[in-house]
Amino acid sequence: MRLLSLTTLLAALALNARAELKLPAIIGDNMVLQQKQTNPLWGWDAPGTEVTVKFGDQTKTAKAGADGKWTVKLDPVPASDKPATLSIKGSSAKEIKNVLVGEVWICSGQSNMQWSVSSSWDSDLEIASAKFPNIRLITVPNVGTQEPQKDFKGEWKECSPATVGGFSAVGFFYGRVLHKMLDVPVGLINNAWGGSACEAWVNRGELEKDPRFKLLMENTKKNEATLNSPAAKAKYDADLAAWTKLAEAAKKEGKPFNTRAPAPPTAWLNGNARPANIYNGALLPTIGYGIKGAIWYQGETNAGRAYEYASLFPFMIQNWRNEWKQGDFPFYWVQLADFMAEKTDASQAVMSAWAELRESQTKTQNAIKNGGQAVIIDLGEANDIHPKNKRDVAERLARWALVKDYGMKLPYRSPEFKAAKFEGNKATVTLDTFGSSLRTIDVGEVKGFMVCGEDKKWAWAEAKITGKDTVVVTAKDVANPVAVRYAWADNPVCNLYSAEALPVTPFRSDDFEMITKPKP
């Protein structure tokens, strides 16, 4: 019995000797706390350890639970660009230095959000002039997993020519606008992952409970079963051996060899498309940190399932809000840019999954609160899915925040379809211009409209602005139009804008069945 007691005592002493206060990467030197709201802070220590957190004149205490995690909540404080120290004491002590208070935004999505400042237009000037020590940057690594992660490897850095080049261009330009307009510190959390699918950003348990995503999750489970099978590994080994043989032969003969190596089964299992992978690996470690809101640039990967995206995208936003426990925080996104070849045949151009994805993004504005989209149908590049002009993208996003969240009076929302009236050979389209008026850019002729009759054969149309918010549309080959669409193509030729040069949102008046709707 005495031996058992001694063993227990020694084990306890060893545990206490190893006990150490640990903090997640999101809580560290150079961080920005969100102003004017409660800010949760957390970490880990030996179970039962009392932890004290001091910031300014605040002192908060908490006790580490059975899993070692503790959490305190700092009271709201106003913005401050005066560097402060946050002290935390548990079984050991830590000081978090150079802490500012201001506006904190999450920057998420796929490659167009991940796209760096150094790869954007005017990168030499943008990097050289990025001397903004009160803008703070942190990037979450791309980790795909089904196992919930507590932390990530990263650190907050002051924005400077030395640190900004690899950061999200849309995120940086967005934060810079807010910093200059509001004159407060700005913290930017970049967790974007190129090529990622929307479902990878959502809690899997929530997806599985919703019948709208039954097909998505059934296909997911089939993929998992297939890719985890011995047959999949054997096939990969055989394919890799064959590829290696070809590569070596080409090298020996001095011939070019550009064939990609086969992807291992783990590529999808640990990648950016499997439901919940990014949620667990990159988003979860930041959930709970005090933020103002999120900006999002994604959709290319989901374009083939645009019909589903109309439900999936708002579902993802609500999932984030539910788990962050900050209410309906602002969420602004970028609508897909123009991309791919311009099609001269209206009947071919109209068959566009990208146009349908844009519509699903537009619909999301009515499906959630405190959301909005930046329309960039004029900023894309036909031959590059990654348009280099990220500054204008970010500034259109920033208009939403400046107006809706910071009370400024600015034009911020692209004109949107309101109604269409069909009489004889013409369609009269009314747009909601949100207090503005319509104009064309580049040429006086309005471009981008198409109409169809009962036969659903589409034809390019002529259009004329007849009022500050109305356009009359006709087509010589359609005697009695029943539907009208605008900018409905992968890469539409269109030139209708608000007076302040915000492009009209692509739209359709009809409810014809979508080409991306799953077939029975």
pLDDT in tens, 96-118: 999 999 999 999 999 999 999 99
What is the spatial distance between Cα 333 and Cα 430, in angstroms, rounded to a whole number? 25
Tell me, what's the pLDDT at 19?
A: 77
* Domain final residue, candidates 413, 447, 470: 413
Enumerate long-range contacts of 357-360, CB under 8 Å, 24 or more apart.
357/299, 357/302, 357/303, 357/306, 357/309, 357/516, 358/506, 359/306, 359/310, 359/506, 359/507, 359/508, 360/306, 360/307, 360/309, 360/310, 360/313
| Per-residue model confidence as pLDDT tens digits over 400-446 | 999 999 999 999 999 999 999 999 999 999 999 999 999 999 999 99
Grouping H, G, I as helix, E, B as strand and the rest as coil, residue 167 is coil
Give the CA radius of gyration of the chain.
Answer: 27
| Residue 73 included in any domain | no
* Domain final residue, candidates 413, 434, 457: 413
Q: Give the residue-averaged pLDDT of 296-313.
A: 98
Same-domain pairing of 161 and 208: yes
Tell me, what's the pLDDT at 13?
A: 43
- CB of 177 within 8 A of CB of 400? no
* Enclosing domain of residue 449: 416-508
Same-domain pairing of 129 and 216: yes
What share of the chain in percent tops pLDDT 90?
A: 96
CA quadruple 372, 378, 382, 384: dihedral sign? negative
| Per-residue model confidence as pLDDT tens digits over 71-100 | 999 999 999 999 999 999 999 999 999 999
What is the spatial distance between Cα 412 and Cα 38, in angstroms, rounded to a whole number? 29
| Residue 441 included in any domain | yes
Element holding 498 (H helix, E strand) = strand 496-498
Tell me, what's the pLDDT at 519?
A: 86
Taking residue 345's Cβ as centre, other Cβ atoms within 10 Å add up to: 11
| Per-residue model confidence as pLDDT tens digits over 351-398 | 999 999 999 999 999 999 999 999 999 999 999 999 999 999 999 999
Same-domain pairing of 392 and 425: no
Taking residue 468's Cβ as centre, other Cβ atoms within 10 Å add up to: 14
Same-domain pairing of 156 and 213: yes
| Per-residue model confidence as pLDDT tens digits over 190-221 | 999 999 999 999 999 999 999 999 999 999 99
What is the spatial distance between Cα 45 and Cα 174, in angstroms, rounded to a whole number? 37
Same-domain pairing of 329 and 195: yes
What is the spatial distance between Cα 425 and Cα 478, in angstroms, rounded to a whole number? 7
Residue 320 pLDDT > 70? yes
pTM of the model: 0.95
* Domain final residue, candidates 382, 413, 444: 413
Reference 187, options 287, 85, 317, 292; nearest CA is 292
Q: Place 14 in a pLDDT band, splitting at 50, 70 and 90.
A: very low
Q: Place 7 in a pLDDT band, splitting at 50, 70 and 90.
A: low
Tell me, what's the pLDDT at 47?
A: 98
Q: Give the residue-averaged pLDDT of 182-196.
A: 98
Tell me, what's the pLDDT at 520?
A: 78
Reference 293, options 112, 37, 79; nearest CA is 37
Count: domains in the chain: 2
Same-domain pairing of 443 and 389: no
What is the spatial distance between Cα 162 and Cα 149, in angstroms, rounded to a whole number? 29
| Residue 72 included in any domain | no
Residue 1 pLDDT > 70? no
| Residue 77 included in any domain | no
Provide the CA 92 distance to its chain's centre, in angstroms.
38
Same-domain pairing of 376 and 407: yes
Q: Place 18 in a pLDDT band, splitting at 50, 70 and 90.
A: low
453: left (phi over 0), alpha (psi -120 to 50) or beta: beta
| Residue 369 included in any domain | yes
Tell me, what's the pLDDT at 6?
A: 58
pLDDT, mean over the chain: 96
Same-domain pairing of 286 and 409: yes
| Residue 169 included in any domain | yes
Grouping H, G, I as helix, E, B as strand and the rest as coil, residue 520 is coil
| Residue 6 included in any domain | no
Same-domain pairing of 311 and 383: yes
- CATH number of the domain that residue 393 is part of: 3.40.50.1110
- CB of 144 within 8 A of CB of 270? yes
Tell me, what's the pLDDT at 39?
A: 98
Instruction: List residues bridging with 370 in a β-sheet.
Output: none
Tell me, what's the pLDDT at 454?
A: 97
Residue 9 pLDDT > 60? no
Same-domain pairing of 187 and 296: yes
Same-domain pairing of 439 and 408: no
| Per-residue model confidence as pLDDT tens digits over 472-503 | 999 999 999 999 999 999 999 999 999 999 99
| Residue 118 included in any domain | yes
Burial class of residue 413 in the structure, from the number of CB atoms within 10 Å of its CB (0-12 exposed, 13-18 middle, 19+ buried):
buried
Q: Give the residue-averaged pLDDT of 144-151.
A: 98
CA distances from 492 to 338, 486, 495 (A): 7, 9, 9
Same-domain pairing of 181 and 284: yes
Tell me, what's the pLDDT at 2?
A: 56
